[in-house]
Amino acid sequence: MKKLNIALIGYGFMGRTHSNAFRQSSKFFDLQYEPVLKCVCARDAAKAQAFADNWGYEGIETDWRKLIERKDIDVIDIAAPNNVHADIAIAAAKAGKMILCEKPLSMDGPQGKKMVAAVEKAGVPNSVWYNYRRVPAVTLAKKLIDEGRLGRIFHYRAKFLQDWTINPELPQGGAGLWRLDVKVAGSGVTGDLLAHCIDTAIWLNGGVEKVNAMTETFVKERKHSLSGKVEKVGIDDACAFLARFKNGSLATFESTRYARGHKALYTLEINGEHASIAWDLHDLHRLQWFDHKDEGQVRGWRNLHISDSDHPYMKHWWVPGLQIGYEHTFTHQFADFVKSLEKNDPCSPSFREALETQYICDAVLKSGKTGRWEKVTNVK
């Protein structure tokens, strides 16, 4: 079995999900590469070491530039905050490393475009961790749509609702809270949550032509964890937008961190001429399926428990009726990445695919300011 030497940059929440994926993938999927947890990189050496000890990384680095120079690393996995994705990725590409990058790809489209150029010029395998594509229920939705079962698509709707920032005393910035700091995160719910919704949407329903958005920052000022000062909040606390897909379908998207009662309620629904699909992250192991071809008197939404061996990814886990959880989506993505190496195929979503989401986010944020429909920049 060939070795695949991995270096992880960042040790936060996403560092954990990725590390778990590296460890679990080869136990449940039949892979030709054995991932080796070579190194974890972070500025705080003590924390990096503790993380390495826990997850079994062989060593640590405190400077990602040094890491990239190392010959014994095959894959650079970027799990650091958004504002450093580009520098790392471009340098890693130049160094000929394969690159896995946590979403969103970049701070904005133009930056992402440079990243795409870098990886494509270098010809290195690359993928972005839009993990929800690999929820088995969502993967099944993709399959059903691709089989043409829905017919013409009329509507797409998605939302991602949270409630963790309602408290105005919550500070912004620093460990665990950098998502509230616009300089580090780039944007608020748009890049953090809507990016997920958009990635799934373009995967399932194709490109977006234009958008019309409304954004809001409910809490205007928050203390900054690092400066200790009350600073203006630059992120969008909430964002909703209308969209028109290239296939003629209409869409609504919404995200907020002010929806009391919802922790991570990512829901999506797609309505076609013949059938409809709905899914909800709070019960990610279920898919709702409505097929108009069913006989009238027994026609209704089918509540699919995605745990059977004929469901995507599920034969690798347990037995029918037994559900998997959130972290498995990362394991699936890493297993697929390894398989893509075996076949010398791209691993979806590539940086290029993820750039499309970036351009949509840009148009959304722009429309939030102009109050008008904004065209989405074409990736090519």
Restricting to residues 256-285, name those near a copy of itself by CB under 8 A: 256, 258-265, 271-276, 281-285
221 binds a copy of itself, rule: CB under 8 A: no
318 binds a copy of itself, rule: CB under 8 A: yes
Nearer Cβ to a copy of itself (123/296): 296
Least distance (Å) between residue 266 CB and a copy of itself: 9
Stretch that binds a copy of itself, among 80-88, 103-111, 226-234, 367-375 (CB under 8 A): 367-375
Cis peptide before 312 (omega within 30 of 0): no
The two three-digit tokens of residue 168, written as one number: 């105005």
* Structural contact between residues 34 and 75, judged by C-beta atoms closer than 8 angstroms: no
Number of residues engaging a copy of itself in binding (CB under 8 A) = 90
322 binds a copy of itself, rule: CB under 8 A: yes
**DSSP 8-state code for residue 118:** H
Nearer Cβ to a copy of itself (64/156): 156
Nearer Cβ to a copy of itself (134/157): 157
| Dist CA 207 CA 205 (whole Å) | 7
190 binds a copy of itself, rule: CB under 8 A: no
Identified binder of a copy of itself from the candidate list 96, 148, 228, 371, rule CB under 8 A: 371
Nearer Cβ to a copy of itself (126/162): 162
Restricting to residues 100-159, name those near a copy of itself by CB under 8 A: 140, 143-144, 150, 154-155, 157, 159
Residue 258 amino acid letter: Y
Residues sharing a CB contact under 8 Å with residue 145, sequence separation 6 or more, in sequence order: 204, 205, 270, 272, 277
> Residues for the chain: how many in total?
380
Nearer Cβ to a copy of itself (297/344): 297
65 binds a copy of itself, rule: CB under 8 A: no
* Structural contact between residues 259 and 163, judged by C-beta atoms closer than 8 angstroms: yes
| Dist CA 358 CA 349 (whole Å) | 12
Identified binder of a copy of itself from the candidate list 94, 114, 305, 366, rule CB under 8 A: 305
Residue 176 amino acid letter: G
Query: What are the start-end ranges of the E strands in 10-119?
Result: 33-41, 59-61, 75-78, 98-101
Residue 96 amino acid letter: G
Identified binder of a copy of itself from the candidate list 172, 212, 331, 333, rule CB under 8 A: 212
**DSSP 8-state code for residue 75:** E
Least distance (Å) between residue 91 CB and a copy of itself: 30
47 binds a copy of itself, rule: CB under 8 A: no
The two three-digit tokens of residue 193, written as one number: 């949550």
Neighbours of 117 (CB within 10 A): 15
